[in-house]
Structure formats: structure tokens, C-alpha cells
Amino acid sequence: MKTLELSKKYKDYVIEMRRTIHRHPEPGTQEFKTAELIRGELDKMGIPYEAKFVTGTVATIKGNNPGKTVALRADIDALTLDDRTGVDYASEIPGMNHACGHDTHAAMLLGAAKILNEMKDEINGTVKLFFQPAEEVGVGARGMIADGCMEGVDNVFAIHIASGAELGKVGSGAGGRMASADRFIINVTGRGGHGAAPHQCVDAVYIASKIVVALQEIVSRELDPVVPAVVTCGTINGGSRWNIVANEAVIEGTTRCFAPEVRDMLEEAIGRIAKNVAEAYRGTAELDYQRLVAPTVNTAESVDLIEETVKQLLGNGAFFESPAQMGGEDAGEYFAVAPEGGALANLGSRNPNRPETQWPHHHPNFNVDEDAFEIGSALYAQYAINYLNK
């Protein structure tokens, strides 16, 4: 296919872009150099764009024929994590690393931009390219939407590189594929004092410990056993010295689920349990519940189009049904707004013959097989063409 041929043509370009972005990772809402690079490349291609939500960019490619509008989304932010890959394009910023693969997403979408820009005569409608910031901190998609990026957009397609899937395979599935990702902070207050006189005190660390244990019973005792959900307490901090009873303690954690009603229930239950447990031990607890990322729910029609596109590009057997997972991904915010929904595809990047591609996401050794890029750029472009021309 023409998209695959052009993707092969631009493979080295995409690799160069990916490695450049990888060397200069930036945290969410601070991707200034990354945005400058992306916009500079779009200028070279003659593709118009608008700045959106701090460091976001929305480019527009109009086909030579009228039609609907489809958006292709890539995220661009990095993680606060050391880079231990040892490659010559390793991160040059201490403590920052593209260990989730967003550098690959941005580069592949730039490759797709080149492909689509050469195929305007075969496009019935308009393609928008979303280079989105701040996915890792859960505010990027909502910020882009609030800034008007979805005006006139009918459908949205996103790709996520997947170290858990084999090179040459692409996965997706209808319905909830990735969970909501919310954060909770519980501030516990007691009454501090001398460690030798606990009877004169209200131990905030002890209360926080009781709350952590009690929260584990939400999933096991308050939810239907067939409904997936997670409540994780990631940190508990309190106290200033070994012989002082803590006056305050803070618990931080996350919840994951797929249904809006379960999300509501988790917030209510955490607040209720924290308050009542604290009061039972003569203290107080206040909940700060932050709704960061909604569930990613793929529409069936979009998944069917992904499968059809993958078969066109790679043949039968390349597409697989990807399982639901509890990781969060804010691409679902776009799908929920688009009149014809959208979907996320998982692009395999694990090569059994290359040990460096075996590491999981968010690991300091995370890396990918760059042969996946020509598939990703072609998939972005061909999905858009197929959607607009169907």
C-alpha cells in the first residue's frame, strides 16, 4: 500500500525525530523544546497548525475533496525517571526519561504527517494531528479539549507503543480498555506528644495505618466481585522523630475502574471509611479526591476500522484482541467527546531477539524496536484515509 511504502521511505526520518525527542525529555506542561521541534518540522512540511493548551499543537491537513474530520493523537511528555538504557541517544536530562514511549508516538505522527501531506488527493475530508502534552499528569487531553481542539472533529484515533506485544502485531478491543486513574490524598490529624505517654496523645500514624487496612476492604466487600476495580495506597507519611507521637499523617493513593458509577462509589467509600476510622480513634481525616483520567472506552466501529486497516497493511494474523488493563490513558477523553467516538491501538515493539526491548513501560531500561515505527506511521495515516473515505 502507498501509506506503507511512504512510511518505509520516511523511516529514518522518524527514527531521527524519536531519538532527538528522547535526548531531551520534558515533564507535562513543560514540553517547550519538544513543541518547538514539532512545530519546526510542520513548518518545513508546510502544514498549518495552532498552539493549544500550553505546549500542545494541533496541525491540519485538508484533503483535496470535502468530507468529515478525523483526529490522530500522540502525547509528548516524559516521566520523572532516570534513563539507564546506555544507548547513544539516552536522555541528556538527569531524572527525566521517555520511558513510556511518548517520544515514539510524536515521531510516528510526524511521519504520518509527511505521508498524508503527500496523499491529499486521496483524502476526502480533513485530518487533524494532536500533539498533546501532559498525559502522564492526567490534564493534557482535558486541557486540549477545553482549548477547542475537538471543534468539528468526528472521530479520534490514538496509538500507544506496547512493549508487552510482539513487533508486527497491533491490538485493540471494543469497550473499556484502560481504566480511570484518580488520585486521593487523606490528611489525618491527631494530637502529638511524647512517645512515652501515648495515652495523652492521638496517634495520627496509627490512625493512618488503620485507614490503609480498612480501605482494602472496599473492593473485597463493597463491590460486586465481577466488577474490576483497584484501590492502592502508595504512600503513608507522618511523624518527625522516633520518640514523638505523630500529630499528622498523610496517605496518598490511586483508584482504577471502568464504570462511572464505580468511580463515584470509590470516592464516597474512601471518604466515609477514612472519616469514620479516624473518629473511632479520636482523630479526624479529610479526603482530597482528584479525578484525573476517565476510562478509555473504545467504540466498536473504530475498533473494526483498526482491524480492517491492520489487515490491509500487515495481513491476516497481525491484529489481536487486546485485554483490558488497569493502566490509565487520557485518550479516552477525546473518544467521549467525538460524535463518532474513537479508539486506541497498541503497537507491538517487543522483539524476542533483542533483549533491550523486553523491559516494561516506566522502567529505566525501557526501549523499543524502532522497526515498529514504519508500521505506526502507516497505521496512523491509513486509519485516517480509511475513516474519511469509507
103 is catalytic: no
Q: Which of 103, 135, 136, 374 is catalytic?
A: 135
Q: From CA 273, how far away is CA 285, in angstroms rounded?
A: 9
Helices marked H in the chain: 2-9, 11-23, 32-45, 102-118, 140-146, 204-215, 217-221, 260-280, 300-314, 332-337, 372-389
Within 13 A of 60's CA, how many CA atoms are on the CB side?
Answer: 16
Give CA–CA dist 348/161, Å, rounded: 6
R_g over Cα of the chain: 23
Residue 77 annotated as catalytic: yes
Nearest Cα to 65, choosing from 139, 105, 120, 104? Answer: 120
Element (H, E) at 350: strand 342-350
Residue 354 burial (C-beta neighbours within 10 Å; 0-12, 13-18, 19+): middle
Cβ atoms within 10 A of the Cβ of 51, count? 12
Set 26, 31, 41, 77: catalytic member: 77
Alpha-carbon distance of 38 to 109, in angstroms, equals 10
Q: Which residue type, as a one-letter code, is found at position 258?
A: F
Residues belonging to the active site: 77, 135
